[in-house]
Structure 1
Amino acid sequence: MIDVLENPAWHALLTGNSLLALGSDQVKFFDEEVSPFVGLENNTTDNFTELANLLPNERVCVFIDPAQISVPAPWSLLNCVECYQMVFNGKAVEHTGEIKVVDLTDEHVPQMLALTQATNPGPFSQQTIRFGHYKGIFDGDKLVAMAGQRLTPSPYAELSAVCTHPDYLGKGYAKLLLMSQVERLLKSGGVPYLHVRHDNERAISVYKSLGFEVTRKLFFHVIKKAKT
């Protein structure tokens, strides 16, 4: 049986994110305004060459692999981030508190962009909301916390963009939003998972306390296509 989480971007572009997929039979990617992630059926020089032929000069992408790799020309490596992949193996806790969780829509995109720029939870662009299921918490009209999903290699769904404005930390908003996503996914037959930097011990501890388990290490390669 194929372990789709070993190559999550590729299998997400084949399955749960297929409506957002561009590319070919061996190489797939998202529109730049949706996400920088690319997926290769196999990590080969030919596939990196095909990816370069399909994308414009100086496009920055993120490629995930279980090993730290060297990328062939015309690609250059800008950064490599070592992460743990964690899969949920706990029980969902239904939210019954007074804090209102709001579905986020296109009208909220400017505030979502501002919040991610202030907190840097990972890549987030003008059309990232197309991944769907983004939810937030507001203080009046101000978005102060949010969470959503990203790579969805069925039946798995990656929880992403979990962030809280610095002025609102310590209120439990991130945990509430994260578990709201977990509850939604489990009810629909999905399996929640996420990625976290291997050295973010505080976040790893929190995720473990919520029912997530480390399953593997992955390397997120930030690559850029050189001018040709």
Structure 2
Amino acid sequence: MINVLENPAWHALLTGNAPLAIGSERVKFFDEEVSPFVGLVSNTTDNFTELADLLPHERVCVFIDPAQISVPAPWQVLNCVECYQMVFSGKAVKISAGEVAVVDLTDEHIPQMLALTQATNPGPFSQQTIRFGHYKGIFDGDKLVAMAGQRLTPSPYAELSAVCTHPDYLGRSYAKLLLMSQIERLLKSGGVPYLHVRHDNERAIGVYKSLGFTATRKLFFHVIKKAKT
């Protein structure tokens, strides 16, 4: 049986994220304004060559693999980030974060979403990343101070992503509240929540474990770009 989470971007582009997929039968990717992630049916030289033929020279991409690999020419690896993949195996629980409301985020909130991710660096977030759907946030007045959403969805799994809190609002359980809101939504629809976190982010790993996530494997996020010729 294929484990779709070993190649989450490819299987997401085939299934849950198929409406956003561009490419061919062997190589798929998102519009640059949505996400840098690319998916290959397998990490062969031919498939990397096809990817290079389909994408513009200046585009930076992210390719996920269970191993740290040597990406073939014409690609060069700009960075390789080692992450844990964590899958939810607990139960939905009540999170207390005071009298705060969890608000659905829409296109009107994009400028604030971009500003918050730039201030907190939870991972790639672009002008149209909101098209993945289900982004929710917490506001202090008119100011967005925390948010979370979903990204790669290799059915029935859905990746929780862009989990971030403004530095001035840490310690108020906003991230936990938003995560549990996402978890409840997914469980009700028959989905399975999962996420990715840097292997050395001990604070975040501890938070995710406390909510019922279990680390299942390591994956390597290769940041790649076509080499100049």
Q: Given the two structures, how large is their TM-score scaled by the length of structure 2?
A: 0.98
Match of 2:74 in 1: 74
| Code of the aligned partner of 1:78 | L
Partner Cα distance (1:198, 1:70) in 2: 20
1:136-215 alignment runs, 5 A limit:
136-215=137-216
User: Are the counterparts in 2 of residues 85 and 217 from structure 1 also a CA contact under 8 Å?
Assistant: yes
User: Are the counterparts in 1 of residues 148 and 163 from structure 2 also a CA contact under 8 Å?
Assistant: yes
Q: CA deviation at 1:95?
A: 5.8
Q: CA deviation at 1:225?
A: 1.3
> Residue 143 and residue 113 in structure 1: after superposition, are their counterparts in 2 closer, same or farther (change >3 A)?
same
Asked if 1:12 corresponds to 2:12, the answer is yes
Asked if 1:132 corresponds to 2:110, the answer is no
Q: CA deviation at 1:203?
A: 1.0
Identity of aligned pairs, percent? 89
Q: CA deviation at 1:101?
A: 0.3
Match of 1:37 in 2: 37
Q: CA deviation at 1:201?
A: 1.2
Deviations 1:125-158 (A, max 9, x none): 0000000000000000000000000000000000
> SS at the partner of 2:204?
helix
The alignment's C-alpha RMSD in Å is 1.0
| Code of the aligned partner of 2:167 | P
Match of 2:116 in 1: 115
Q: CA deviation at 1:94?
A: 4.7
Deviations 1:14-47 (A, max 9, x none): 0000000000000000000000000000110000
Deviations 1:49-98 (A, max 9, x none): 00000000021000000000001111000000000000000001256763
User: Are the counterparts in 2 of residues 58 and 227 from structure 1 also a CA contact under 8 Å?
Assistant: no
Partner Cα distance (1:13, 1:94) in 2: 33
> SS at the partner of 2:25?
coil
Partner Cα distance (1:25, 1:226) in 2: 25
User: Are the counterparts in 2 of residues 94 and 180 from structure 1 also a CA contact under 8 Å?
Assistant: no
Partner Cα distance (2:144, 2:206) in 1: 26
Partner Cα distance (1:62, 1:24) in 2: 17
Q: Given the two structures, how large is their TM-score scaled by the length of structure 1?
A: 0.98
> SS at the partner of 1:220?
strand
Deviations 1:154-201 (A, max 9, x none): 000000000000111111100100111001000000000000011111
User: Are the counterparts in 2 of residues 88 and 213 from structure 1 also a CA contact under 8 Å?
Assistant: yes
User: Are the counterparts in 2 of residues 27 and 40 from structure 1 also a CA contact under 8 Å?
Assistant: yes
